[in-house]
Amino acid sequence: MSETLVITGAQLIGAENADIVVEGGTITEIGSGLSRTGARVIDADGLVALPGLVDLHTHLREPGYEASETILTGTRAAAAGGFTAVFAMPNTSPVADTAGVVEQELALGEAAGYATVQPIGAVTVGQKGERLAELGAMATSRARVRVFSDDGFCVSDPLIMRRALEYVKSFDGVIAQHAQDPRLTEGAQMNEGTVSAELGLAGWPAVAEESIIARDVLLAEHVGSRLHVCHLSTAGSVDIIRWAKKRGIAVTAEVTPHHLLLTDELVRGYDARFKVNPPLRREEDVLAVREGLADGTIDIVATDHAPHPSEHKACEWQAAANGMVGLESALRVVHQSMVQTGLIGWSDVARVMSEAPARIGRLARHGTPLEVGGPAHIALYDPSVEGVFTEADLHGRSVNSPYLGQALPGRIEFTLYGGRLTVDGGAVVEELGA
């Protein structure tokens, strides 16, 4: 049971500083000079109060790849970053393509207690792209799956993609596409461009992403279904989404923090921490996705948190795994790349990192404004500090962060999940009370 808390002097979005009373997992009062007998008081002077962050794209690896991450360690990392809900991608072993697996993931998240774990179901059996998985059974299971993706693999067969879009309409589901034409990226090692040519590495062309997005928005329009584009990374992709939205197509899109900040110039050092799918792109692409996020073309920021054991990264570039951990650093990178640059404000941060991801994923009682009667999912963030990001900032099982040794602004001081502190004074709570 959560304790009674009085949060004093927090900077509320779109309002004056105020006190927040949390009782029984609910916000019961917002105002000034508030108190409760026996309550713990949290001094939030100078802290921005955000609704608990929601990540629509997290790889928790369990079941099957617990050497990289578990649902417990992954949600501890999420709490450290201010997240109170994460959507778990299905590339586990076994693949999350049945009601049994997604219900297992849901139960493991509930047992861990650090954040809501909402499973994402695979689109195709085994993520092999050959036949549809049990979409309806996963949707009606206790996990109530509404997002389906073969992330890590593209649903490249247009007929399979069309059938999936048609199927999920009946329960207001969404297909989240990993937009990567497999033929155009065979053997690809990094973004195709000047740097790949100079390094002699096989290039990953932007058109491999853009062509799939163009096809799929037209399929979504034809079927009248919802499409979500995962980890959009190129200027051309932004243009296609912008066109599709003007046309009235029901498409949403996400960008990762690393595609908002990092470029393919970092590959010159052959440090595999910077190897990711889709690859880091050109500076022009970084600026374009920032603009797309700022003007609403891109709907959300999603981490694509992808943990790997050290041996999968501490090797030659060609043999290294794709992926980066990102839950603990996400808000800080968005602060640096979008807020400090003046492109968005804190209300926009709440929209793209909490409200919109919860809405797209149809996740109830998350992403709601901090208001009386609402759930006490709260992240209290100090925007005034800056520090070098180190392994001590990481709370999962893997340390493949691209930001190690880099100065980043801000710090999560407190995270409340259902009124319970999961981060207290900047430290993840080791043992959650019953």
Peptide bond into 94 cis (omega under 30): yes
Among left, alpha and beta (phi > 0; psi -120 to 50; other), residue 169 is alpha
Contact (Cβ atoms closer than 8 angstroms) between residue 194 and residue 263:
no
Beta bridge partners of 43: 8
- Tokens encoding 419: 């009124």
Catalytic option among 97, 216, 304, 393: 304
DSSP states along 297-343: SS-EE---B----GGGTSS-GGGSPP-B--TTTHHHHHIIIIITTTS
Using CB atoms within 10 Å of the CB of residue 9, give its burial: 0 to 12 exposed, 13 to 18 middle, 19+ buried: middle
Peptide bond into 119 cis (omega under 30): no
> Is 304 labeled as catalytic in the residue annotation?
yes
**Residues written for the chain:** 434
Helices and strands counted in the chain (H then E): 12, 19
Closest to 237 in 3D by CA, of 220, 219, 259, 222? 259
Active site residues: 304
